[in-house]
Amino acid sequence: MKSSVKVASALFSTNFNYFHHPIGKTIIRQIGSFSVPESVEDVIEIVSGLSEFPVPRYNIIKPSPEVHVSIAPQSVWTMYNIPDTAMVTNSSAGVMEWEDQYFSPKQLTTFATDFALKITDVPAAHIIGTNVPSDPQIEATLDIQWILAIGKNADGWFWIENNGVWLYGWAVHFFGTGVVPNICSISYGWNEEDQCEAGIGSQECQQLGVNSQQYVQRVNTEFQKIGMRGVSLFSASGDSGANGRTDPYCTQTHLNPDYPGASPYVTAVGATQITDASGVANLQNPPSGCTNRHCASGGTETAVSFAQANFASGGGFSAVAATPDYQTSAVTAYLNSGVKLPPSTFYNGQGRGYPDIAAFGSGILIFDGAIDTVGGTSASCPIVAGLWSLLNDYAVGKTGKPLGFANPLIYQMATAHPAAFHDITVGDNICTEGGCSSTCKGFYCTTGWDPVTGWGTPNYGEMLTYIQSIL
The catalytic site residues sit at 139, 143, 378
Q: Measure the CA–CA gap between 296 and 129, rounded to whole angstroms.
A: 36
- Please tell me the distance from the alpha carbon of residue 132 to that of residue 120, in angstroms, as a whole number: 19
User: What type of residue is 253?
Assistant: T
User: Which residues pair with residue 270 across a beta bridge?
Assistant: 358
Judge whether 37 and 26 are in contact, CB under 8 Å. no
DSSP E strand stretches across 71-223: 92-97, 127-128, 155-160, 183-186, 190-191
Measured distance CA(93)–CA(185) in Å, rounded: 8
Residues 6+ apart with CB under 8 A from 449: 327, 330, 331, 333, 334, 353, 411, 414, 455
Report the phi/psi class of residue 369: left, alpha or beta, with left for phi > 0 and alpha for psi in -120 to 50. left
Q: CA torsion, points 241, 245, 249, 250, in degrees to nearest 10?
A: -60
79 close to 272: Cβ distance less than 8 angstroms: no
183-186 and 190-191 strand pairing? unpaired
Half-sphere CA count of 161, side-chain side, radius 13 A = 23
- CB-CB contact of 268 with 355 (8 Å): yes
99 Cβ contact list (under 8 Å, min separation 6): 54, 55, 160, 161, 162, 164
